Amino acid sequence: MTTEDTDTSSEKLRVLIVGGGVAALETVLALQDLAADRVEMRVLAPKSEFVYRPMTVREPFAFAGARHYPLAPIVAGAGAELIGDALVWVDPERRVVHTTGEQEIGYDALVLALGARITPRYTHALTIDDRKMDETLHGLIQDVELGYVESIAFVAPGRMAWPLPLYELALMTAGRAYDMGIDMPITIVTPEDSPLAIFGSQASEGVAELLAEAKIQEINSAYVEIPAKGEIVVNPGDRHLHVGRIVALPELYGPSVRGIPLSEHGFIRVNRFGRVADCGPIYAAGDATDFAIKQGGVSAQQADVVAESIAALAGVEIEPKPFHPLIHGMLLTYDEPRYLTAQITGGQGFSSQFGTEPTWSPVSKIAAKYLAPYLEALDRQETAA
Ligand SMILES: Cc1cc2nc3c(=O)[nH]c(=O)nc-3n(C[C@H](O)[C@H](O)[C@H](O)COP(=O)(O)OP(=O)(O)OC[C@H]3O[C@@H](n4cnc5c(N)ncnc54)[C@H](O)[C@@H]3O)c2cc1C
């Protein structure tokens, strides 16, 4: 920490949080808890809603879809101000950000939580995009129900985006086909060494059993090209598969924020405290960072780490803890969900767990210390009303 970072004045630390997703909201709620009287928070986000992205996988099956929460009350409730605008670039020297609305906004600490960019990897596949999940996949599921689809492959490109949705979509499609009495081969082709390998061996074995029960074939350690509609080339081995339809995960790219050091593919390079090197009090959390696993729960943990560092910067007596990812995954299937947990080290899970009972609370797709109970309470209030 440099001397310029240590604010010992009685003034509140001006914290600017860029983004309106999991990482941004978790940062706001964590800072409200840790340092409410020492920080003045502003949230810069272009959209007026927070969308609960993991539940979009249910939409093509006509199950209840993802909830949309207005951002304004969440942000205001945490004592922060919402600015409806988007970041364009950062000037770390002057400690200001520039926006699309041509505003110049100053900060004492900046949190970049603006997510990743979704980019289709294959021209000849339907690419999963949660902003239009139903629009993209509803027609396919209808065709499955009508028996028009001969076979489907669910494919992940070499750089995996979020791990769960590919498996969830495959399992739900298999369940729907079974319900309709349709026998349709389904294959998952991924670069992972085993199914959902990041969750460790025990969870991976559990998922493999689930896939076997659903008669889903898995091709692992596979690097895929799709040269034409219905044609998959699997490498190593130059194996050619012919399938009726292909559904692919996108590739994720970082937000390529101008003005700060970036790592490969535009992601923001952070240290174990979520800090961006060599540009003053700038932090980042979530899918925007260069941490290899893109997951809502991981984003929230990174945000908690950042919040502790900023609380310390604001003068709170706290020893910020570094990032030690623990991932929880709720895998949706056609019937009851399965729960996966792993402590991550070196990109692989260990002390892996798998079962029908959750090991975390509140039970939610996105396990987050502050955001999960907050949303649970909100949902409960609305149900009661
Ligand atoms: C289909 C699907 C299923 C998933 N399932 C799970 C799951 O089961 N469990 C799990 O933990 N995770 C899951 N994930 C992953 C999880 O949703 C992401 O990891 C998480 O949303 C990342 O949070 P984030 O805040 O970093 O980014 P995002 O959620 O992408 O939020 C980024 C925010 O930044 C804003 N923004 C973008 N550009 C700018 C800008 N220039 N200026 C200001 N703001 C900007 C956006 O509007 C948005 O509000 C899933 C994702 C998908 C798509």
Name the band, by pLDDT with cuts 50, 70 and 90, for residue 7: very low
Q: Which residue has the tokens 């020297």?
A: 93
Ligand 1 atom closest to Cα of residue 257 = 41
- Burial environment of residue 217 by CB neighbours within 10 A (0 to 12, 13 to 18, 19 or more): middle
Q: How far apart are CA 268 and CA 262, in angstroms?
A: 5
Residue 3 has pLDDT above 80, yes or no: no
Which top CATH class is 3-116+254-323? alpha beta
Q: What is the CATH number of domain 121-251?
A: 3.50.50.60
CA–CA distances in Å: residue 200 to residues 48, 110, 115, 233, 323: 37, 34, 25, 27, 19
Q: What is the pTM of this model?
A: 0.95
Pocket (CB within 6 angstroms of ligand 1): 18-24, 44-47, 53-54, 56-57, 86-87, 113-115, 130, 162, 164-165, 286-288, 294-297, 299, 329-330, 365-366
Q: How far apart are CA 90 and CA 105, in angstroms?
A: 10
Q: How far apart are CA 68 and CA 106, in angstroms?
A: 30
Q: How confident is the model over 297-336, as pLDDT tens digits?
A: 999 999 999 999 999 999 999 999 999 999 999 999 999 9
Nearest to 296 by CA among 156, 162, 195: 162
Q: Which residue has the tokens 């669910």?
A: 154
Peptide bond into 322 cis (omega under 30): no
DSSP E strand stretches across 113-201: 117-119, 126-127, 152-155, 186-189
Contact 92, 282 (CB under 8 A): yes
Q: What are phi and psi of 343, to 5 degrees?
A: -85, 130
Ligand 1, atom 26, lies closest to the CA of 286
In the sheet with 338-345, reading across from the earlier edge strand, the strands are 326-331, 338-345, 348-355
Domain range annotation of the chain: 3-116+254-323, 121-251
Q: How confident is the model over 235-258, as pLDDT tens digits?
A: 999 999 999 999 999 999 999 999
Are both 3-116+254-323 and 121-251 of the same fold? Answer: yes
Beta bridge partners of 248: 127, 155
Q: Span 25-33, mean pLDDT?
A: 98
Ligand 1, atom 6, lies closest to the CA of 54
